[in-house]
Amino acid sequence: MSDSQSNPYAAPVSELTAPQAASHELELLATRRFRTAVGLLLPPALFNCVAVTLPRFVDSGRVPATDSWAFFSLAVTIVGMVFLLGIAVFLWFRGTMLLMFITALLHPLLGGRTERNGWIDAALEGTRGFVVAAVLGSIVWLTYDILLFFQPSHYSFFLFFGTLAHILGAIMYVPILVKWFRYRRAGAPRKVEVVDEV
């Protein structure tokens, strides 16, 4: 006879093997999606640093070796690129863990009476749009970077690309919010069907 059967005040014991297995598979799938998104978005992010800085040098004729302003601008660009690489490396190895950590922190505030493991599973399921958003985002970002060489100053240019960036960002986080809402509305643990796709 188990402790929970002999002691009426003991916490109920539930079988969590299936949800844990599903969560592990979802974690691996979400990690693949994170890494694909990082790999797609890192090149335009780095190119953006060059696209912002290089036209200034070309127009001004300044050389970093002889001009303090040009040297400072180049140094800031290099630091920015190193910073981006650091973020990319962190997300590559710990992006899924960061999402799970944030999800666990938000669960007491937003999760209601749902189980925390199921809440995390719902967030991992919501990463399905990461790759599509990253593909479209890299195309939009590279287009923006290329056009940035021509130094457009019109407000509509930045408004257009800024709006696209926010829409693509929403493709990444809105599905997570929707999964959370549906899971909370269901109010009961459920088995997660893992679709093995990026």
pLDDT at residue 163, rounded to an integer = 93
Q: Supply 5's token pair.
A: 């059967």
Q: Mind listing the pLDDT tens digit for each residue in 129-188?
A: 999 999 999 999 999 888 877 766 677 888 899 999 999 999 999 999 999 999 999 875
**Can you tell me the distance from the alpha carbon of 19 to that of 59, in angstroms, rounded to the nearest whole number?**
59
- Domain of residue 175, residue span: 18-186
Environment class of 118 (CB within 10 Å of its CB; exposed 0-12, middle 13-18, buried 19+): buried
Identify whether 6 is part of a domain. Answer: no
Flag whether pLDDT at 193 surpasses 70. no
With beta carbons less than 8 A apart as the criterion, state whether 41 and 138 touch. yes
Q: What are phi and psi of 13, to 5 degrees?
A: -105, 130
Distance from C-alpha of 24 to C-alpha of 100, rounded to nearest angstrom: 12
- Residue 45's nearest CA partner among 96, 98, 83 is 83
pLDDT digits (tens, 9 = 90+) for 61-111: 555 556 677 677 778 888 989 999 999 999 999 999 999 999 999 999 999
CB 125 within 8 A of CB 186: no
Domain count of the fold of the chain: 1
Residue 50 — very low, low, confident or very high, per pLDDT cuts 50/70/90? confident
**Is the per-residue pLDDT at 113 higher than 80?**
yes
**Max CA separation in the chain (angstroms):** 84
How large is the average pLDDT for residues 33-46?
94
In a domain, 149, yes or no: yes
Confidence at residue 181, expressed as pLDDT on a 0 to 100 scale: 94
Cβ atoms 69, 165 nearer than 8 A: no
Say if 3 falls within a structural domain: no
